[in-house]
Structure 1
Amino acid sequence: MMGTGICHVIKNKIGVLPSAIWASLAFMLMLLWGASSLAQDAQKQKPPISVGGFDYRYLPQHRVHSFNCQRPACVIGSEVSYIIFAPTTPNFEMFKRGKEIAFRQLQARAAPDVTYKLSDPKRVSHKSMTVFVSEREARWSGGAVRYTKSTVAYFQKMTVSLISSSSSKKAANANGSLFFVGLAALGVAKKKSNESTVPADLEPAK
């Protein structure tokens, strides 16, 4: 109905246009409607797991659930994001190579006043999941610092990639762990009531 009304107005104003122009106009309208629909879907999207104190955004192009801390408890400005994939096979060597390549690319683009440090990746095995962890530190000459913790968890039903960053290392670890606990509950098919679903060194700091 909307498209017909627009076409009717254009015809009344400038007469009948060549079919190629009508096709171009129709294509542009489809793009506009599609973009509007995508934005509405992003606004309506609800995260599988969320934590209080964080603003939420969904990035549909990459299926990223993104959260920004708005309270002092999680250190304002801290960020957490995650993507849920179909289940994949863990490959620690590939994970390490990927982090090393990304780190070298980051260093190549770095401003002169920033220094990056990458820790050795770690692997944590649990009977219900396999977890790979990598930590990175960015330090500016003015004293600012940013800690980033990347976690990839492999479950029977899904694979999760989670990134937590903050100006506080403690907050980066704690915030990421809070989200990870909820994601682990989704990923673990079955659990005993007296058994933790999360490896001890990945549980939130108390």
Structure 2
Amino acid sequence: MAAAGIGGASAQSLPAPPSATQSPPVAVKGWRYERRGADMHIFHCEQANCSAGSKVSYRLYAADNPMTLQQFRESQDQIVKALQQRTPGQRITILGVDGDKGTAAPRMFRARRLTVTPDGASEYQVNGLLFGKQASASLISSAHDEKASNDNYAKFMLVLAPKIR
């Protein structure tokens, strides 16, 4: 799973509060938590109802990011090019990009992608950005099944959105 920040924008991660070293800001029951670095929160599905092996990660950022939907679309194209160059033979297809227009908070952008590795394995990803008045967040869900990737994204978005409004 690739971790991307808030597109091409120059976002600064929020400093981790001392208590965040013990537990994540938000979590979904039934997922194994792993912290990577100061601000990456990764969750691993280990049960059938979320498609075992699926992952979801998020990062929190400062509020007031003026990114537009068009800028998000462009950043997704750049991310795909960079990821394909990093792994020769890997194919990434953007399945769709959607989101709110304008720059007022709250707003959300979402891109759905299919990655096919050189050995033929497929992974579906949903990469979303949520902009609020208190904070912003990037959220990435990946699974070998498109429905699981979308469902897992929605589960985490439901608990993450109130945190940044």
What TM-score do the two structures reach when normalised by structure 1?
A: 0.63
1:152 maps to a residue whose letter is L
Residue of structure 2 equivalent to 1:73? 49
Give the Cα separation in 1 of the matches to 2:55 and 2:111: 16
Give the Cα separation in 1 of the matches to 2:112 and 2:73: 11
Over the residues paired in the alignment, what is the CA RMSD in angstroms? 2.4
Give the Cα separation in 2 of the matches to 1:97 and 1:105: 13
Deviation at 1:128, TM superposition (A): 6.0
Structure 2 unmatched ranges of 5 or more: 1-17
Alignment coverage as a number of residue pairs: 146
Residue of structure 1 equivalent to 2:138? 161
Greater relative CO, 1 or 2 (CA 8 Å, sep 6+): 2
Give the Cα separation in 1 of the matches to 2:20 and 2:69: 36
Give the Cα separation in 1 of the matches to 2:139 and 2:87: 23
Aligned match for 2:25, one of 48, 51, 55: 48
Deviation at 1:119, TM superposition (A): 2.8
Q: Confirm or deny: 8 A CA contact 1:80 1:176 kept in the other structure.
A: yes
CA distance change for structure 1 residues 109 and 90 in 2, over 3 Å: closer, same or farther? closer
Q: Confirm or deny: 8 A CA contact 1:42 1:60 kept in the other structure.
A: no
Give the Cα separation in 2 of the matches to 1:100 and 1:141: 20
Deviation at 1:124, TM superposition (A): 3.0
Residue of structure 2 equivalent to 1:84? 60
SS at match of 2:73: helix
Give the Cα separation in 1 of the matches to 2:58 and 2:34: 11
Identity of aligned residues (%): 25
Residue of structure 2 equivalent to 1:57? 34
Give the Cα separation in 2 of the matches to 1:67 and 1:49: 11
Q: Which has the higher strand share?
A: 2
Question: Are 2:118 and 1:117 aligned?
Answer: no
Give the Cα separation in 1 of the matches to 2:137 and 2:52: 25
Q: Which has the higher helix share?
A: 1
Q: Confirm or deny: 8 A CA contact 1:90 1:154 kept in the other structure.
A: no
Give the Cα separation in 1 of the matches to 2:88 and 2:95: 20
Structure 1 unmatched ranges of 5 or more: 1-40, 189-206
What TM-score do the two structures reach when normalised by structure 2?
A: 0.78
